Amino acid sequence: MRLSLLFAGALAFGVAVAACSGSSGSSSALPSSAAQALVRIGSDGRGPVTRLLPGHKQVVTGCNYTVYAFCFYVTKGDPGPYVETEAGGSAQLYNNAYITSNKTGKLDKKFTTYFSPDPGNPTYQYINYTGRNPKKSGPVKYTDYYCIGFSPSECSGNAYTFKLGIALSPKT
């Protein structure tokens, strides 16, 4: 198990470096072995770790792990934070994200997202959904293009490290 986590970390590191080093809007999806619980970015398995914060539901059924690192539900009126990224040591992490509709492929104006602190270690992604409140939890319909970098330029423009799937959940 430990060896597979290290391999997943090394593979994710390669994806992160390729995505944040000038590639704009195109990245390989992480394989399901790297995506099941959290994403590790680092050749030794000790680099930045990105995970869904406790108290938020992960989409289990219908999350395409060939596309997404992981999927989670966003609730109208609950800005989070939803996702945490932290790195060992004192390195500051710079982040950027944008959310698109899977139907249109365009930025979805019903979502706003920001990181706090940015830069930070750890840093947290907040997501505010202002659209209609669904009556029941639905499938993944949005993509969170998420970037982690060690300098501001690594996450500028349309660069992203990996994709997160977003589904909507009603207020409880």
Residue 159 has pLDDT above 80, yes or no: yes
Q: For residue 163, what are the domain limits?
A: 2-169
pLDDT of residue 46: 58
The beta-strand segments (E) located in the chain are: 39-40, 49-52, 71-75, 83-86, 94-101, 111-116, 123-129, 140-149, 162-169
Predicted confidence (pLDDT) per residue in 7-28, tens digit: 333 334 333 433 333 333 333 3
Residue 5: band (very low, low, confident or very high) from pLDDT cuts 50, 70, 90: very low
pTM of the model: 0.74
Residue 33: band (very low, low, confident or very high) from pLDDT cuts 50, 70, 90: very low
Domain count, the chain: 1
- Name the amino acid, one letter, at 117: P
- 57 vs 95, which has greater pLDDT? 95
pLDDT of residue 36: 35
pLDDT, average across residues 148-164 = 90
